[in-house]
Amino acid sequence: MNTKISELLDRVEQFSTNNAAEIEDFRVKMVGKKGKLTALMEEFKGVAPELKREYGQKLNALKQAILAKIEALREAAEASNSNDTKIGDTSRPGSAEQLGSRHPISLVKNEIIEIFGRMGYTVADGPEIEDDHHVFSALNFPPEHPARDMQDTFFIEKQSSEPSEKDILLRTHTSSIQVRTMERQKPPIRVICPGRVFRNEAISYRAHCIFHQIEGLYIDKNVSFADLKQSLLYFAKELFGESTQIRMRPSYFPFTEPSAEVDVSCNLCGGKGCPVCKGTGWLEILGCGMVDPNVLIANNIDPNEYSGFAFGMGVERIAMLKFGVKDLRLYFENDVRFLHQFDSVL
Ligand code: DAH
């Protein structure tokens, strides 16, 4: 055993390389599972008790020598490699960085913001964690409205089982930013409010508990329904193409009166009828209406002096129509194979 130890010590002392693979090979041969030192350690188990102390110390010294050698060789190899790159061929082209890409939802959101920007709208923001006042009460939601129910809204802090303006919740729509804007700013107001919203919904190909909306609000003197219609027609043509038509259907929202839902002519079949528009030739894209006088009053704006319109749309829905994506969940999985398809779209 003595000779084996001193032979190994000699080998360790003489070994030299600055090649990382050779150093690793050396390490495996010495201290790997089937390495020389490991074999000696095994042999050591059978050594007579009176010799254990002596051999134990020798083996330990050998082990330290091997580890120190590996460490020293590794450091030297690293240093010489980094010298290599310093004096390497500086005219070589650099390696290309893998760049990320914009998410399709961001692309569509930015395009919508740009279109309204051309009509003079600026972007307003508000918190995702809101109170009942900004999401419901100031927007003329009656206390018994189903949206105020746990079934539809994620509550963070509820005062009691009865609805209260102080309840804390995740906003269910970006209409809450209308209220925040009216609190901050006197008319004329012309804002577009993009943001995430949250609803207590089962996740499926057409619904998600988190999605994105864009809200618009315009308040000034003499704002009329004709202004609303013309603004939305311009928006639809910019977004879906010059030949796009819109139609308005009467609807109901607590915060607008009158209210309407807006459809655009199907951009896939040109209005003739296809599976995407379910044969109707029309696709629903947003809700809108004239701001209800109750909402103006709740936000200290005189409805005799000012009027306004508001509209709200789901970004995922518009992105699905624009890109022909059939399953909403794809937008949330962030699979790069899906996302990279939009690199050059907008
Ligand atoms: N807040 C509505 C929703 O989440 C969308 C909406 C409809 C917003 C009509 C509006 C509007 O401002 O006028 O379904």
The domain that holds 280 is classified in CATH as 3.30.930.10
What confidence tens digit (pLDDT) does each residue in 304-313 have?
Answer: 999 999 999 9
Query: Considering only CA atoms, which residue is closest to atom 3 of ligand 1?
Result: 173
Q: Answer yes or no: do 8 and 142 share one domain.
A: no
Q: Which residues contact 290 (CB under 8 A, 6 or more apart)?
A: 223, 225, 228, 256, 257, 258, 307, 308, 309
Q: Answer yes or no: do 244 and 121 share one domain.
A: yes
Which residue, of 86, 120, 139, is where some domain finishes?
86
Mutate to test the pocket of ligand 1, among 112, 130, 255 (most ligand atoms within 8 A of CB): 255
Mutate to test the pocket of ligand 1, among 179, 215, 315, 316 (most ligand atoms within 8 A of CB): 215
Please compute the mean of the pLDDT values over residues 5-30 and round it to a whole number: 88
Query: Considering only CA atoms, which residue is closest to atom 6 of ligand 1?
Result: 312
Which ligand 1 atom lies nearest to the CA of residue 255? 13
120 CA from centroid of ligand 1 (Å): 21
What confidence tens digit (pLDDT) does each residue in 207-255 have?
Answer: 899 999 999 999 999 999 999 999 999 999 999 999 999 999 999 999 9
Please compute the mean of the pLDDT values over residues 329-339 and round it to a whole number: 91
**Does residue 327 lie within any of the structural domains?**
yes
Which residue, of 57, 86, 115, is where some domain finishes?
86
Q: Answer yes or no: do 276 and 330 share one domain.
A: yes
Question: What pLDDT sits at residue 52?
Answer: 87
Q: Answer yes or no: do 47 and 171 share one domain.
A: no
Mutate to test the pocket of ligand 1, among 139, 173, 212, 259 (most ligand atoms within 8 A of CB): 173
Full residue range of the structural domain in which residue 14 is found: 2-86
28 CA from centroid of ligand 1 (Å): 68
Which ligand 1 atom lies nearest to the CA of residue 309? 13
**Does residue 310 lie within any of the structural domains?**
yes
Which residue, of 31, 54, 86, is where some domain finishes?
86
Which ligand 1 atom lies nearest to the CA of residue 288? 13
Question: What pLDDT sits at residue 84?
Answer: 52
Q: Answer yes or no: do 51 and 122 share one domain.
A: no
Q: Answer yes or no: do 58 and 112 share one domain.
A: no
Question: What pLDDT sits at residue 20?
Answer: 85
Number of independent structural domains in the chain:
2
Of 9 and 312, more confident = 312
**Does residue 97 lie within any of the structural domains?**
no
Confidence of residue 272 (pLDDT cuts 50, 70, 90): confident
61 CA from centroid of ligand 1 (Å): 78
**Does residue 156 lie within any of the structural domains?**
yes
Lowest mean pLDDT among 61-75, 82-96, 156-170: 82-96
Q: Answer yes or no: do 144 and 238 share one domain.
A: yes
Query: In degrees to the nearest 10, what's the CA dihedral of 109, 301, 153, 163?
Result: 170
User: Is the backbone of residue 159 left (phi > 0), alpha (psi -120 to 50) or beta?
Assistant: alpha
Of 272 and 229, more confident = 229
288 CA from centroid of ligand 1 (Å): 6
pLDDT, the chain, mean? 91
Query: Considering only CA atoms, which residue is closest to atom 13 of ligand 1?
Result: 288
What confidence tens digit (pLDDT) does each residue in 49-66 have?
Answer: 888 888 889 889 889 989
Query: Considering only CA atoms, which residue is closest to atom 12 of ligand 1?
Result: 311
Mutate to test the pocket of ligand 1, among 134, 145, 175, 311 (most ligand atoms within 8 A of CB): 175
Question: What pLDDT sits at residue 281?
Answer: 93
Please compute the mean of the pLDDT values over residues 40-44 and round it to a whole number: 88
Q: Answer yes or no: do 166 and 267 share one domain.
A: yes
Q: Are 99 and 55 in contact (CB under 8 A)?
A: no
Question: What pLDDT sits at residue 87?
Answer: 65
What confidence tens digit (pLDDT) does each residue in 92-139 have?
Answer: 888 888 777 889 999 999 999 999 999 999 999 999 999 999 999 999
**Does residue 96 lie within any of the structural domains?**
no
260 CA from centroid of ligand 1 (Å): 10
Q: Answer yes or no: do 76 and 178 share one domain.
A: no
**Does residue 133 lie within any of the structural domains?**
yes
Q: Is the pLDDT of residue 85 over 60?
A: no
Query: Considering only CA atoms, which residue is closest to atom 4 of ligand 1?
Result: 173
- The residues lining ligand 1, judged by C-beta closer than 6 Å to any ligand atom, are 173, 175, 215, 253, 256, 287-289, 310-312
Q: Is the pLDDT of residue 80 over 80?
A: no
**Does residue 134 lie within any of the structural domains?**
yes
User: Helix 49-86 and helix 20-31: axis angle, to 10°?
Assistant: 170
Closest to 100 in 3D by CA, of 337, 319, 340, 334: 340
Closest to 105 in 3D by CA, of 297, 344, 323: 323
**Does residue 185 lie within any of the structural domains?**
yes
Q: Answer yes or no: do 55 and 112 share one domain.
A: no
145 CA from centroid of ligand 1 (Å): 15
Evaluated on CA atoms 225, 226, 230, 236, the torsion sign reads positive
Closest to 307 in 3D by CA, of 220, 177, 182: 220
Q: Answer yes or no: do 149 and 283 share one domain.
A: yes
Q: Answer yes or no: do 46 and 108 share one domain.
A: no
Q: Which token pair is 8?
A: 């190994």
Question: What pLDDT sits at residue 278?
Answer: 87
Question: What pLDDT sits at residue 151?
Answer: 79
Most confidently modeled range among 10-24, 91-105, 195-209: 195-209
Q: Is the pLDDT of residue 282 over 60?
A: yes
Please compute the mean of the pLDDT values over residues 313-342 and round it to a whole number: 91
